Homo-oligomer: A and B are copies of this chain.
């Protein structure tokens, strides 16, 4: 019997949110550049606007990113330290 199943489920959930090529790409981009607005992500990723927005929604809901509105645009940035650490495991050198 595992006592901390709840904790394991939370960590698995965190991994699941970044375990998608588009979301991982967004997270890595934010980790590298600091911030980015949605339009720019869209043209980099070459997927429809609604698809990008849905992936951003998942990342946002998980508390991995947060957005700040500047006029029409919303600029996102990474805000989860565990995710930053995982990204550095996967993408450092």
Contacts and interface: CB of A to CB of B under 8 A. Distances in A.
Interface of A: 1-2, 5, 8-9, 11-16, 18-21, 23-25, 28, 44-46, 82, 85-86, 89-91
Total copies of this chain within the assembly: 2
Given A2-B25, A82-B89, A15 B8 contact: no
Contacts of A15: 15-16, 18-19, 24, 86, 90
A64 to B, nearest CB: 13
16 contacts: A1-B44, A1-B46, A2-B44, A2-B45, A5-B21, A5-B25, A8-B24, A9-B21, A11-B24, A11-B90, A12-B24, A14-B90, A15-B18, A15-B24, A16-B20, A86-B89
A90 to B, nearest CB: 5
A19 to B, nearest CB: 4
Contacts of A86: 15, 86, 89-90
